[in-house]
Every structure is written in structure tokens, then in C-alpha cells.
Amino acid sequence: MATLYSIHPDNPQTQRIETIVKALRGGAVMLYPTDTVYAIGCDLNAPAAVKRVRQLKRMANDKPLTFLCSSLSNIAAYAAVSDQAYRIMRCLIPGPYTFLLPATKLVPRLVMNPKRKTTGIRVPDERICHALLAELGNPIISTSAYVPEDHGELPVLGIERMRLFDALDPLVDIIIDTGVELGFQTSTIVDLTGDRPKIIRPGRGMDALQDWLVEGDVG
């Protein structure tokens, strides 16, 4: 059974954040809020925990896992950032966007696409996420949560958080509850590995992204 931590959404309690991060360093898997939906995550540098996340999401090893970074400068340690990618991300983060980028050697093989050597990175606009990242000192895996069902995966869309908590309680070690119901839109995925940005999946923030791309004349 998971340990549930009630965390203030605007002023995360330092001691509870420290306790959660200590567990993450020890290989814990958590269910936690982002600026889009609830996510399943762990310490990027905890291989056994990353494998558990893949198993929970039934993800093949060749499918890249998204992870959270604290800032644009932090992204540069884990991905090769072109001048164009830098300009785009600088205007959009923090926010509800996942950027596909060429991975550096700091990204574990368990996380990236082994053929393309790319990875998905986010800088969310969410205070608990940033508190966890600051205390941990390295990225956190972030993959949208769902309720397991006998007939496949039921997406998180429209699911109340308490139902999600009840379903995932036996499968994760930590549940973070802010008392806030999140939306049902996942992040917008933007591929920045080519000459021009390519929208892979529309999601939250899509309208703002399209407006910026038109104004910025980058496609």
C-alpha cells in the first residue's frame, strides 16, 4: 500500500518534500500532480524504479520515457539544443509542453529511444514538481497515469483523483495529494529534432503554441 502525502499546491511543505525525495533516491515510484494530469514517476537515475514505471504503463523498451527538468539550462545537460529549439523553448517553458530532443550521454538507455537516441523533456508550471526537482537535484520520470482495467488501459481523461488513487495504491509507493482535481488534457508534444518543429500530439497549450509558431515564423 502506498504512503499518501498531503502537500499544499502553492506552498509545498519542505519536510514532506524531503521525505519523498529520500524515498525516490531509494527507488520509490510515485503518483504525483503535474500542470497537466497526474503522472507516474521516479528518479531518472534509479534503474529498477524506471523498469517498474515501464511495467506499470506496459511500455515497450524502445518507447522513450518523458522526464521533467527544472529549467532550460537543465535541459541542455540532457539534450542537444539547437539555436532554434532554444528560442522556441525559451518562450514556452515552464508550461504544458513535451519536447522531443536528441539525448546526451547523461540520459540513461532505459529512458531514451535506442534507435533514434531521442528523449522527451518537460519543464512543468507546477510548484510541487519544482520543489521535488530542486531537492532531488536531477530529473524525474513523468508518464501520464491511468486506471488499469481488465480490457486494456483506461486513460486518465476525466477520472477523479480519488478513483485514480484507489486504483494505483497497490502499485506505487507514494501518492501526492494536493486536494485539487486536475484537468484531462495531456501535454502537447513537439518534435525539435529536425529543421522545423513538428507537432506530434496536440494537447494542453496547443492554441498558444500555434499562435507563437505563426508569429515566430518557424513553422
**C-alpha span between 182 and 33 (Å, rounded):** 8
Share of the chain above pLDDT 70, in %: 91
**Model confidence at 154: pLDDT above 80:** no
* Full-model pTM: 0.90
> What's the pLDDT band for 156 if we cut at 50, 70, 90?
very low
Cis peptide before 94 (omega within 30 of 0): yes
> What's the pLDDT band for 152 if we cut at 50, 70, 90?
very low
Q: For residue 161, count other CB atoms closer than 10 A to its CB.
A: 20
> What's the pLDDT band for 211 if we cut at 50, 70, 90?
confident
**Model confidence at 153: pLDDT above 70:** no
Q: How does pLDDT run across 100-145, given as a tens digit for each residue?
A: 999 999 999 889 877 878 999 999 999 999 999 999 999 999 999 8
pLDDT of residue 140: 98
Please classify residue 14 by burial: count the beta carbons closer than 10 Å to its beta carbon, then call 0-12 exposed, 13-18 middle and 19+ buried: exposed
Q: Give all strands of the β-sheet with 38-41 in edge-to-edge order.
A: 3-6, 174-177, 30-33, 38-41, 143-144
**C-alpha span between 98 and 209 (Å, rounded):** 12
Q: How does pLDDT run across 157-202, given as a tens digit for each residue?
A: 456 888 889 989 999 999 999 998 887 788 999 999 988 899 999 9
pLDDT of residue 5: 98
CATH class of 3-216: alpha beta
